[in-house]
Each structure stands twice: as C-alpha cells, then as structure tokens.
C-alpha cells in the first residue's frame, strides 16, 4: 500500500478490541500499532482469538506514555489524527489525509483526554444517528481506517 498509516491505542481495556484492531489493521495494511498506557499487548490468548494471528505479523510497540509516542510520531513527520467526538472535530468523510498518518484511538468509555487531543493536528468523528452516540472502538477504527486510506 502506498499510504503509510499507523495506529496509536490509548488505554484500550478490552483484549478482544485489541485483537479486532490487529485483524482490521492487517486488512487495511496498517504499518504499525502503538499499544499505549494500559492497553493490553500480545501474547495473550484473548487477543489471538480475535486477531486470528494478525498480532504475529503486524508490527507493534508497547509504549507507557501515549503523549511521548505521539510526540515521536509528530517528529517523524506524521499527521496526528484523533478519532473522537469533540467540539473541534470534523466529519471523518471531510478529512483529507496528508500521509504519513497516525490515527489515535482512546479508551472505550471515556475516549481521549484533552491533553492528548491538544497534541493532535486534526480531530475527526463518525456522525451518529441512533440513541447511542458511539461505536465500539474496534468498529470505529475499521470505518475510519478505510475512509482515510480511500480518501
């Protein structure tokens, strides 16, 4: 794939979500996943169960501090893009990526803290129509990745 995209996962608690993100990352040719904060990491049977082995060949790195990972990626020339419902966010379909892209995803319930959002170049969101105003983080990740690489 010609476009370079990496994922930064901040405090994703569910091993199943992490496994699902690995599997989606493989399907979208994501170059690397940064597993930050309390995000679980391979090897683990619950991650492997959902990832179907993708965790064995998708490059990944464990990082204690999400902010430092973002700073490093920014210094390497990545456009830092958060997926979050926020007053500053734009519709994900209107986002025009400038590759290299680092997509930052937050904890399942509380999302990304303001201190991390302030480090991002753009904040995008998927518009919601139903009573629940959010998607599962792994589902939202998949929708966003494919929108970014096909935009």
Query: Considering the domain 5-149, what is its CATH architecture?
Result: 3-Layer(aba) Sandwich (3.40)
Sheet arrangement for strand 60-63:
60-63, 32-36, 5-10, 101-105, 79-83, 122-125, 90-91
Which token pair is 88? 């500053």
DSSP three-state, residue 72: helix
Q: What average pLDDT does the segment 117-144 reach?
A: 93
Indicate the pTM of the whole model: 0.95
Residues linked to residue 35 through DSSP beta bridges, in sequence order = 9, 62
Return the percentage of the chain with pLDDT > 90, whole number: 88
Q: Is the pLDDT of residue 3 over 80?
A: no
Q: What average pLDDT does the segment 24-46 reach?
A: 96
Return the percentage of the chain with pLDDT > 70, whole number: 99
133 confidence band (pLDDT: 50, 70, 90):
confident
């Amino acid at each position: 794939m010609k476009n370079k995209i990496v994922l930064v996962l901040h405090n994703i608690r569910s091993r199943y979500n992490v496994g699902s993100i690995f599997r989606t990352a493989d399907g979208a040719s994501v170059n690397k996943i940064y597993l930050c904060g309390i995000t679980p990491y391979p090897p683990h049977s619950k991650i492997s169960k959902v990832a179907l082995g993708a965790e064995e060949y998708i490059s990944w790195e464990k990082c204690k501090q999400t902010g430092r990972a973002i700073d490093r990626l920014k210094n390497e020339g990545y456009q830092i893009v958060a997926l979050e419902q926020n007053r500053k966010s734009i519709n994900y379909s209107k986002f025009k990526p400038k590759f290299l892209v680092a997509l930052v995803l937050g904890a399942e319930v509380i999302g990304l803290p303001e201190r991390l959002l302030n480090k991002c170049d753009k904040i995008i969101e998927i518009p919601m129509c139903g009573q629940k105003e959010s998607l599962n983080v792994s589902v939202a990740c998949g929708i966003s990745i494919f929108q970014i690489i096909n935009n």
